[in-house]
Amino acid sequence: MKDIGFILAAYIATFASSALLAVYVLRRGRALAAQLPPQDKPWT
Amino acid sequence: MPVTDNAVTDNRTPGDLSGSDITGAFKSGTGTRFTRLLGIATIASMALLIVFGLFVSPADVIQGESVRILYIHVGTVWVAYLAFSVTALASAAFLWKRTTSLIWDRIAGASAEVGVLFMALTLFAGALWGRLAWGKFWVWDARVTTTAFLFITYIGYLAVRGLGGSHHQRGRRSAVVALLAVLEIPLVHFSVKLWRGLHQDSSVTDTTKVKLHDQMLFSLFIAVIAFTLLYSWLVIHRQRVMAMQDALDDKGLDYALQQRRDEGDG
């Protein structure tokens, strides 16, 4: 496939940065949830 | 907000649950059954996007293989527009006297953060496509330049959110900025009509000039669905993280005040 480097760079950058943000949000959520009682987490 | 019994009777600062048998119960995080299902749907649609975007969809007659970058470019810019619009709507809801709940401020902030990420990805994918189609990573075209300006504006919005003050002060201040910033979106969208430039006009809604191949149209549809699902998942989790951060800030302040009162009484 022609221009494969450019095409893959766009896909990898998009999926990698989205995954990094998702992991950061989940880890931060778990860290904060461990410090708060259930009444401060109405979704639980 | 009153100081929790935990914090006072256990002689621990809020957040310090060391040695407690209830720590495990508190570790449920930001996930629910719904967000887990949403996450599975997001991953499945992303996998479908890779298959259709990279393998099934045909190469374009003029652009060749570089058209595959546009599935990312269009999907991410759609989400960025959506995110900034949600930020504006949530900000308006926060400023409206009957709904001045902080949840609107958090939705606005979470949506703007995700929007900034996707706007950066739009510019990045656009630069790669521009290098192949126009021979340059960057041109001072009206659409490209106004998009970059929109991106910088929302970085400014996030900076305003980071200024000091109470949660409500943060909410009011950033809501005003969000309502002004959203006015740029029509400017970006219609810039290709207002000023002649290199950036092409819509190929999906205006079928008089270009007729997209069915598989290209379907790949674009999958991209929009996949990135919208990802946006929803990220905003739900991020606003819950913000809610917990705010709650922890409040409890920390309450605990400090209680300590000062105890010192005064002693």
- Cα–Cα dist B158/B261, whole Å: 36
* CB pair distance less than 8 Å for A41 and B6: no
Q: Is B248 on the interface with A (CB under 8 A)?
A: yes
According to DSSP, residue B139 is labeled -
Contacts of A38 in chain B (CB under 8 A): 25-26
What long-range pairs does B132-136 form, CB within 8 A, spacing at least 24? B132/A3, B132/A6, B132/B63, B132/B64, B132/B66, B132/B69, B133/B63, B133/B66, B134/B198
Distance from CA of B66 to the nearest CA of A (A): 7
* CB pair distance less than 8 Å for A38 and B25: yes
- Give the start-to-end residue ranges of the domains of chain B: 32-202+227-254
* CB pair distance less than 8 Å for B27 and A33: yes
pLDDT per residue as tens, chain B (266 positions): 343 434 334 444 544 444 444 444 445 689 899 999 999 999 999 999 999 999 999 988 888 899 999 999 999 999 999 999 999 999 999 998 777 789 999 999 999 999 999 999 999 999 999 999 989 999 998 899 999 999 999 999 999 999 988 999 999 999 999 999 999 999 998 887 777 776 776 666 666 666 777 888 999 999 999 999 999 999 999 999 999 999 998 887 776 677 778 888 76
Tell me how far the alpha carbon of residue B183 is from its chain's centroid: 17
Separation in Å, CA A8 to CA A28, A39, B68, B78, B209? 30, 45, 9, 21, 29
Interface with chain A: mutation pick from B22, B68, B123, B233, highest number of A CBs within 10 Å: B68
The tokens for B148 are: 């970059």
Q: Is B32 on the interface with A (CB under 8 A)?
A: yes
- Comparing CA positions, the residue from B47, B85, B59, B40 lying closest to residue B223 is B47
Q: What is the per-residue pLDDT across A1-41, written as a single tens digit (0 to 9) for each?
A: 678 999 999 999 999 999 999 999 999 999 999 888 888 88
B31, B35, B36, B38 alpha-carbon torsion, rounded to 10°: -160
Alpha helices in chain B (DSSP H): 5-9, 23-26, 33-51, 67-95, 102-133, 142-161, 167-181, 184-194, 214-265
